[in-house]
Amino acid sequence: MAARNALIAWALLTALIASPVWAHEPGPRWDSLNAEQKSILAPAEKDWDSLSPLQRSRLVNAAKHYPQLTPEEQARFKARIPEWTRLPREARETARQNFKTYHALPPEKKEAVKSRWQANQPNNPAPTTAAPAAPPPAAPTR
């Protein structure tokens, strides 16, 4: 699971932290995207015109990695695009820096950070070592 989360983070963030050669260019327009890119980036369509050229280019670059994600990761990717595009620039920069810092940690420290993070997620209880509960017995059929 850690590898999957890292892949999702990598797909979204590595492309978003790359140094742009295109900074002076206007960035891709929505109508210039191909059908696959539009499908992948559909959650950003309504905000597309308000995104900076850099954000547009980074999202297009991140979309290149989308086909390699599992269906669950693809759903998470699409769900997070609107939130990411609406974050203030400073918050996005902080997230990128945290991503770089996390990936520079040794594996045991990454696990500790991940465990602390999961423990603080309201909808994601921390994993336990207890065996899962047995399913309830089936109702008798007549």
Specify if 140 maps to a domain. Answer: no
Is position 46 within any domain? yes
What are the φ/ψ torsions at residue 32 (nearest 5 degrees)? -90, -10
Domain that holds residue 6: 2-119
Are 91 and 65 in contact, with CB atoms under 8 Å apart? Answer: no
Query: If you average pLDDT over residues 50-76, what whole number do you get?
Result: 91
As for how many domains the chain has, the answer is: 1
Side chain identity at residue 50, one-letter code: S
What angle separates helix 71-86 from helix 53-63, to the nearest 10 degrees? 180
Look at residue 137 and tell me if it is in a domain: no
3-class state of residue 24 by DSSP: coil
Span 30-61, pLDDT tens digits: 999 999 999 999 999 998 988 889 889 989 99
Return the higher-pLDDT residue of 11 and 65. Answer: 65
Q: Does 19 reside within a domain?
A: yes
Does the predicted TM-score (pTM) go above 0.85? no
The closest alpha carbon to 67, from 37, 45, 34, 96, belongs to 37
125 belongs to a structural domain: no
What rounded mean pLDDT belongs to the chain?
Answer: 78
Instruction: Give the residue, 62 or 124, on which the prediction is more confident.
Output: 62
Helix axes 71-86 and 2-9, enclosed angle (nearest 10): 40
Work out the average pLDDT over 88-108.
90
Residue 126 domain-assigned (yes or no)? no
